[in-house]
Amino acid sequence: MRPIIAPSVLASDFANLQSEVEMLNKSQADWLHIDIMDGRFVPNISFGFPVMEAIKKHAQKPMDVHLMIVEPELYIERFRDAGADTISVHIEACNHLHRTIQQIKATGAKAGVAVNPHTSVNLLEDVIPDLDLVCLMSVNPGFGGQKFIENTYRKIESLKNLIIARNSSALIEIDGGVNEQNAPLLLEKGADVLVAGNFVFSAADPIQTITNLKNVLK
């Protein structure tokens, strides 16, 4: 099975956001990955509802929204209304994770949980049957262009085993430092979704780069 490719709009040219989204529409990208940062959970601020709504006007593909924010439960419905198809919250930011997952599902969106590099995937054991997606951070969240953390390969294997053991249908998403060199091994270990930011948007030919990622196992 070919991977789901989710280019991260955070790495796009914000001065030409409409054309960047239209480029993704023409490409083999499957989802648009939208990183929301609040300057509290992570040391950076990205964008909020107005920008997301502007993206939604032009996007022809599902929006995979990654909330790197504290108290995400306060904003779930608004992100759904702004166009989110999948909403992922950080396990580290949720005091009542099960409740927040059910809140996401109640909006009709798919529910995901993001896991920082230091956090064990075993903490998901009791909620993994309820999840549609687990986003493994392969860099520390908050900034693009960081170096891929090699321990991610081991975490994918652990997570895959947990998904199978708990009879879950959750997809495994990898976010951070993904490129054509590490993508084959990520997929071999069990990843389903590849998020790529700088690797796509800084390429001379982003559409071809997305195609290469899509076909990396061929």
Which residues does the annotation mark as catalytic? 35, 175
The Cα 146–Cα 139 span in angstroms is 6
| Residue 84 to residue 105: CA distance in whole angstroms | 12
C-alpha 109/C-alpha 56 separation (Å) is 15
Nearest to 136 by CA among 103, 178, 174: 174
**204-209: long-range pairs with CB below 8 Å, 24+:** 206/7, 206/23, 206/27, 207/23, 207/26, 207/27, 207/28, 209/180
User: Rounded to an integer, what is the distance from CA 197 to the centroid of its chain?
Assistant: 11
